[in-house]
C-alpha cells in the first residue's frame, strides 16, 4: 500500500522543504526575503546547493574579508549609527 508521505517525499520535495522568509528594511520599505540556509545560495529566488569548491572559496575569502573589515570598523560603525538613527526617526524600529 502506497502512503501519501512516500509520494510527497519522492515527487514533491519542495513542498516538504518550505522556504523560510525574513523581513528587512531597504529604502524605507519593508521587504520579504528568503532566509539564508547553510550550504545553499539563492539563485533567482530559489535555494541552490553550493558546490564544495565554491564553499571552500567563500570561506577562504571570508578570512581575508575579516582583515579588511577590521581596518574599516570605525567607518562601518559610524554609518550604521546614522542608519539606525534615520530608521528610528522614521518610526521603523523600536528603541
The DSSP string of 11-56 is H-HHHHSPPPEEEEEETTEEEEEEPP-TTEEEETTEEEEPPHHHHH
Extract the residue ranges of the chain whose pLDDT is less than 50: 16
Identify whether 95 is part of a domain: no
Number of domains present in the structure of the chain: 1
Identify whether 59 is part of a domain: yes
DSSP 72: T
Contact indicator for 16, 8 with CB cutoff of 8 Å: yes
pLDDT digit string, tens, across residues 25-51: 777 678 888 888 888 988 888 889 999
> Residue 25 sits in which domain range?
4-90
Predicted local distance difference test score (pLDDT) of residue 90: 81
Identify whether 56 is part of a domain: yes
Predicted local distance difference test score (pLDDT) of residue 4: 64
Amino acid at each position: 500500500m502506497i502512503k501519501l508521505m512516500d509520494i510527497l517525499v519522492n515527487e514533491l520535495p519542495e513542498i516538504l522543504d518550505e522556504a523560510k522568509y525574513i523581513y528587512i528594511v531597504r529604502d524605507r520599505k519593508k521587504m520579504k526575503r528568503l532566509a539564508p540556509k547553510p550550504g545553499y545560495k539563492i539563485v533567482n529566488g530559489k535555494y541552490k546547493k553550493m558546490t564544495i569548491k565554491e564553499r571552500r572559496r567563500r570561506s577562504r575569502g571570508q578570512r581575508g574579508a575579516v582583515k579588511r573589515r577590521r581596518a574599516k570598523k570605525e567607518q562601518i560603525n559610524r554609518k550604521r549609527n546614522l542608519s539606525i538613527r534615520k530608521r528610528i526617526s522614521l518610526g521603523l524600529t523600536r528603541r
